[in-house]
Amino acid sequence: MVLYPALLFINGLSEYLLNRMMAAMGVLNQKNRGYHAVFAVLRIAWIFCGALLAVPLPLLLIGLLLLLLLNALPYPDQRLMMYHFTMVIYLIYTSLLMTVIGTGGLLGFDMGRMASSPTLRGIVMNTTFAFFNVTCVLLLHFHPDFLWKRSYDKSKVVIYTHFLFVCSAYHILDSMILTLYPAGRISYLLLVSGDVLIFFLIFNFLNYNFVFAKSEEIRRQYEESQVLIAQQYFEKESLKKMSEVDSLTNAYNRREICSIMAEHIRNGLRLVCVFIDLDGLKHTNDQYGHTYGDLMLKRFADTCASMMQGDGYLARIGGDEFLLVFPDGEISRIEALVQNLQRKLLETADPKDKIFFSYGISSNEESVDRYMETADQRMYADKNRKQRGSPWTEIV
């Protein structure tokens, strides 16, 4: 007879499509493909043989539920989600089956005769099983969040899964009543209305899961966008700092200090500028290497910044040239700070680590250029004075 092989083929094809879709969605692990294939064959055989051998409907449904729940065994870390998924698809099948039985009874078909006919039982149960598989495939393809999402809130999934178990128990109880007692039109009406209600509740919960999953996705995208914005902000700040600060000494560069001075001048503030040139740095580079010279520059900048304590601005405006800018500073106090700085830089046991510098101070100038020119000229005057033999003897 062609009918039975056709039913087996349809069930096998629909089961294959569902398992393939579940594997593609990450519901089933490819490593357990053989395990799931065995239980897919067992489910097909159980539905097919149970229908033909007149296995009581309650036992048939309980057996199918157990075969579906065994899918979760290889996934101890995701067992809750697997139970959730299994109960949803099981209820879709049992609701379809019970709705078909109830609708047939309401339409006047002799469901008792149909239940006693192996052929009719086989057609109804196997085609319903195939239709259920195809329905799940379509749901997973077009609305995967309806059935499977790893990011579901576990507390909500537990509640929903318990509800699904209760609905399954309701279906099994219905099947027992149909098996043990002759059904009338009222029974079929109650059966259909109950299953329609369960269908409605299932898809309502599925829609809730879908909305929840989408809201989680939106929240995740929002958090990712905030992280991206923060990264862009820090990158922007980093680029801004790179454009403003000398990378070696962490002092302002020439362009930035000129901009700061110009702004203070526009605001009517009086500045005191100290132009500093490190003495003998070229000799240090030639004798000990540029790496050592860089260490000297960094030590000077760090010492200077620590002594300034945030009072004013420190800038590196050339290779060994630095500028200290103090808004509304007192020249006498700044003179004392510069001399203390020189003493601090000479407090070392190793002669090669001593740092000497020449400096010049300017104040009350009308422009950035005039501040720097005046301080530069006075710095060179200080350097020439040292070269004539009267350097820092009075402050060392």
- Token pair for residue 31? 């490593």
- Per the document, the length of the chain is 396
Q: What is the reported pLDDT for 360?
A: 95
Residues 133 and 21 sit within 8 Å (Cβ to Cβ): no
Farthest-apart Cα atoms in the chain, separation: 126
Q: What is the reported pLDDT for 3?
A: 79
Q: What is the reported pLDDT for 1?
A: 60
Looking at per-residue confidence, does 76 or 263 come out higher? 263
Is the pLDDT assigned to residue 154 strictly greater than 70? no
Is the pLDDT assigned to residue 225 strictly greater than 80? yes
Residue 287, exposed/middle/buried by CB under 10 A (0-12, 13-18, 19+)?
exposed
pTM confidence score: 0.50
Q: For the CA atoms of 191, 192, 195, 197, what is the dihedral angle to 10 degrees?
A: -110
Side chain identity at residue 275, one-letter code: F
Looking at per-residue confidence, does 198 or 361 come out higher? 361
Q: What is the reported pLDDT for 374?
A: 95
Convert 192-231 to b/e letters by CB count within 10 Å (16 or more is b). bebbeebbeebeebbeebbebbeeeeeeeeeeeeeeeeee
Is the pLDDT assigned to residue 152 strictly greater than 90? no
> How much of the chain exceeds pLDDT 70, in percent?
89
Q: What is the CA radius of gyration of the chain?
A: 43
- Token pair for residue 358? 């020449």
pLDDT confidence band for 393 (50 / 70 / 90): very low
Domains delineated in the chain: 3-226 (no CATH), 254-394 (3.30.70.270)
Is the pLDDT assigned to residue 116 strictly greater than 50? yes
For 301-317, the pLDDT digits (tens) are 999 999 998 889 999 99
**Mean pLDDT, residues 88-113:** 79
Nearest to 361 by CA among 372, 353, 369: 372
d(CA 93, CA 63): 13
Q: What is the reported pLDDT for 395?
A: 34
Q: What is the reported pLDDT for 149?
A: 56
Looking at per-residue confidence, does 1 or 141 come out higher? 141
Name the least confident of 158-167, 270-279, 346-355. 158-167
> Mean pLDDT over all residues of the chain?
82
**Mean pLDDT, residues 119-128:** 81
**Mean pLDDT, residues 317-345:** 91
Q: Which residues pair with 278 in a beta bridge?
A: 357
Looking at per-residue confidence, does 175 or 112 come out higher? 175
Is the pLDDT assigned to residue 146 strictly greater than 80? no
Looking at per-residue confidence, does 107 or 115 come out higher? 107
Looking at per-residue confidence, does 277 or 75 come out higher? 277
**Mean pLDDT, residues 70-92:** 79
> How much of the chain exceeds pLDDT 90, in percent?
24
Cβ-proximal residues to 387 (8 Å cutoff; 6+ apart), any chain: none
